Chain A
């Protein structure tokens, strides 16, 4: 795979921002993940890294950084990336969504705006695989890319003060799930009964950047069942391994 040029900028006293070309693309994301794998192999403790679309924020929790030294280390790592011995494991997760009007209070209005039926909206929303380009904004909130342009609608004019945990929303080029109750301005079309952020678990967020998500339409009865299964810890969302 070809490697993209990167730019490295200082970001305060203990962080740097590494940027790839300014676009949303799976091959750029793969390049970022390759770089992260190569950097992790250096096994320097106290670094944490977080991806968002075309950028990587690298924070050194131990001390203030010397920018020039850090830049050199990153450039060296970028040059030799892609030679990682450990194959990166990426998953396609199937997440159930109940599109019932009880949860998807904006689905009829959204379908009207898009000039399609509610059934067609659900069909389109569930027929694509969305790439996880980052996790941020709220703990466990996934930035998903790959929404078909036929489902693009603007945010609501007035945000709601409280959007329920699990709400699945549409807003311009994005679709996503609110991992907890939060204020929000997205058009809510359904609810996903799967807990996306659980701080009592060793791995509080099972989805990783680079994974893919596909939604599956479920009935209200299935929703209630998954919710209860989730609460007692016996429900695991379906996953398949993608070839990295």
Chain B
């Protein structure tokens, strides 16, 4: 078991997501920055869908009760194992009783902790991703214990990799959404000519942008939405749905983020700047 001594700001168990249940209103959930999760799992020679911990801004304090190997990825949050600094994208051996803790957030917003074999929390509707009410809790609290398998020895094929990070990237690639044609020339100029900033309202469900563009009075029947769908409210607010976002919505879907851009956006926080580029 991994004992959670302190959970940090927002700690959840995530795999790549829960697929096949959108017809009954269940969002995919899953890791916000899929790219970083895949790399952490790859180093441990895990399945890419093995469950990891998603850490948001401030890291947890965790104690291991069995030997294993871990790798960290995503945001740079100064991590230490028994007070010794450890790097992202390196296989690190941990022993029974070891304590992993995190310090200052240096870059990015969401970090990942992968463990050899993946975390073994209960699978519900084919996934371990935490999402209430599919899982009984939305996130991990103090004192909880997360199961994993003991691994005494492991010789990784690659023990460390240099990764080209996407934290500096602030251009999001977008496709035309189903209601793209509703946008006026003036709105198009507003969207593509200047940067936007991430508002305080940003979480696993959606990222809102601070700047408004010209609004609209178009009303439409509720229709499907996906992670990465950008909705435009009548007041001119752009809302980017993320992994926990609802499966249907009633606002025009003007743009759709590329999947790689969802991972880029997952590492942005309040006040960060973004640009859109149509592909």
Please give the residue numbers on chain A whose beta carbons come within 8 Å of chain B beta carbons, in ascending order.
Answer: 9-15, 17, 19, 22, 24, 48-57, 59, 61, 134-141, 143, 180, 197, 199-200, 204-205, 209
Contact = CB atoms under 8 A, between A and B. Distances in A.
B223 interface: yes
A51 B247 CA distance: 10
B178 A17 contact: yes
Contacts of B133: 139, 180, 197, 199
Nearest to A46: B19
Consensus secondary structure, chain A interface? loop
A137 B25 contact: yes
Nearest to A53: B221
29 contacts: A11-B226, A11-B253, A12-B228, A12-B256, A12-B258, A13-B175, A13-B258, A14-B259, A24-B221, A48-B19, A50-B23, A50-B247, A51-B23, A52-B248, A54-B221, A55-B223, A134-B222, A135-B23, A135-B25, A136-B222, A136-B248, A137-B247, A137-B248, A139-B25, A139-B134, A197-B25, A199-B124, A199-B125, A199-B134
A188 B239 CA distance: 28
B162 to A, nearest CB: 27
Contacts of B229: 12
B25 A140 contact: yes
B94 interface: no
Q: 10 closest Cβ contacts across the A-B interface?
A: A57-B224, A136-B248, A12-B256, A205-B24, A50-B23, A53-B221, A136-B247, A139-B25, A55-B223, A136-B25
Contact of B24 (A54, A56, A143, A197): A197
Contacts of B246: 136-138
- Which of B25, B125, B134, B248 gathers the greatest number of chain A CB atoms within 10 Å? B25
